[in-house]
Structure 1
Amino acid sequence: MELDWEFFIKTFFVCLRAVPVALNIVAVTLIISLPVGFLFAFLRIKGNITVKRLISMYVSVIRGTPIVVQILVLYSMLPSLLAVFFERINSPLNVYDVNPIYYAYTVFSLYTIAILSEVFRSALLTVPKDQLDAAESIGLTTVQAYRRIIIPQAMVAALPNICNATVNLIKASSLAFLMTVKEITAVAKIEAAFGYNYIEAYLVIWVIYILICIVVEQIFKILENRLKIYKSAA
């Protein structure tokens, strides 16, 4: 079968305009997920037994179900629950007018928090416990010890896995079209629908996501090189 290269090139540049939408989803998700994921990791190490079990249950549920199912359930269920809630409090807000990208933020953040909490937990456990004890013995508080000693070393171990999680998130963001978000995949499918050029459209999606992931991997390599100064202390 001969490819329609004219359609491929035209669709490629059309889809490039949707790249900021995909990157916006990824950026907002990481802004939410990185601190919350670290907090969950810390609580799984230092928290009480109840907190540890609740977080472990959350992580198991999220990691044990396909993200497609999470999208379909939350995107179908959350608006309905919110509609009932606002109706009961006599609010004029119509949840069905909410920009669907906010649902994308919610779904991908819940998913990424679970992934990153495991990344940070394993990274924190690579730092010997006696380093914290030594830091506290010379007068540092627990917060100071973590900020100056523990976290920099843990980040060295965590960064490759954070890179993997980010790349996986970028690829998963292509599923935002299920929530009617007009990102790369949605735009490509719309373009393909007119002439049934789905093969060319999927190739466009493939090329764009490869390019984005290559750039992201290079950025993380630069970060890894800068954090190498902490390896000797790890």
Structure 2
Amino acid sequence: MDLSFFIKALGIAFSGVPLALFVTCVALLIAVPLGFALALVRLYRFPILRSFAKFYVSFVRGTPILIQIFILYSSIPLILTSIFEQFSVPVAVYDIHPIWYAFIIFSFNTTAILAEVFRGALQTVPNGQLEAAHSVGLTTSQAYRRIVIPQMLVAATPNLCTATVNLIKATSLGYAISLPEITLRTKVAANVGYHYVEAYVAIFIVYLIICLLVEYAFKRTERHLRRYEGGVIC
């Protein structure tokens, strides 16, 4: 192993961390509300929407994320080109930065995962608590904000942590759409001297550090949320 290149590869890998975390945060900001909405759709059994949500979740959970990346990355430009040509919008679709596709692709995948996380967590909250909230004059939105969601988050946090860690690791597949994140930057540097072993070990270490820090943050958050277990947040 070339130690000097390994140290260099670590620096290059860490330089891609901000972009990987940025994509992760944006994907979560989009996926969390959409996933929660899909969870409610499946719980309250809206006929058409429930069928769509079930198919969507099954599709995402039943196919590899790399295949989803290839399908979306290939189809989105074609759809946008057709729309822009129809409305005479002067936008060069194929010049769009890959990060915008990354937002769409990883949000698409994570939304389905979080929908199941939130659905399972909501089912841990007894229905009687919502009925009791209505009986004391709270609206449904107030009941969810003060009673249901705080308790749901306690149950959802471990799985939410797993989904976030998996999302961070999935950003390593951004190289497939030329996203200059951790993996692509390090692999490009390794191409010069064929130092692939050093590069992959560096990538491994960087992702391990990030994921351990995220897990620690979620554990601290879970301990904080457990103070509200069975209680009310005003």
- Answer yes or no: same fold by TM over 0.5: yes
Shorter chain as denominator, the TM-score bin is over 0.9
2:14 aligned residue: 16
What is the alpha-carbon distance in structure 2 between the residues aligned to residue 153 and residue 86 of structure 1? Answer: 45
| 1:228 Cα offset (Å) | 1.0
Match of residue 81, structure 2, among 76, 80, 83: 83
Pick which of 106-115 and 133-142 moved more: 133-142
Residue among 79, 97, 100 paired with 1:99: 97
* Kept after mapping to 1: 8 A contact 2:150/2:229: no
Counterpart in the other structure of 1:27: 25
The answer to whether the aligner puts 1:227 opposite 2:221 as a matched pair is no
Of 165, 168, 181, 2:179 maps to 181
Partner of 2:165: 167
Q: Secondary structure at the match of 2:158?
A: helix
Q: Which runs of 5+ in 1 are unaligned?
A: none
2:189 matched residue in structure 1: 191
Partner of 2:64: 66
User: For residue 125 of structure 1, what is the amino acid of its counterpart?
Assistant: Q
The one-letter amino acid of 1:217's match is E
Which of 3, 6, 9 pairs up with 1:5? 3
Structure 2 residue matching 1:126: 3-state secondary structure: coil
Corresponding residue for residue 37 of structure 2: 39
Aligned match of 2:152: 154
In structure 1, the partner of 2:208 is: 210
Task: Tell me how many residue pairs correspond in the alignment.
Answer: 232
> Is 1:54 matched with 2:56?
no
Which deviations, in whole Å up to 9, do the C-alpha atoms of 1:56-96 show, x marking residues without a partner?
11111111111000001111111122112212322221101
Q: Distance in 2 between matches of 1:32 and 1:11?
A: 32
The Cα shift of 1:161 comes to 0.3
How far did residue 50 of structure 1 move? 1.5
- Aligned partner of 1:17: which letter? S
Cα distance, 1:4 vs. partner?
0.6
User: Given residue 33 of structure 1, which amino acid in structure 2 is its aligned partner?
Assistant: A
Alignment partner of 1:11: what SS? helix
Question: What secondary structure is seen at the aligned counterpart in 1 of 2:229?
Answer: helix
How far off its partner does 1:232 sit?
A: 4.2
Paired AA for residue 114 in structure 1: A
What amino acid maps onto 1:145 in structure 2?
A
Partner SS state of residue 35, structure 1: helix
Distance in 2 separating the partners of 1:187 and 1:67:
21
- Any stretches of 5+ residues in structure 2 without a counterpart? none
CA distance in 2, matches of 1:195, 1:36: 45
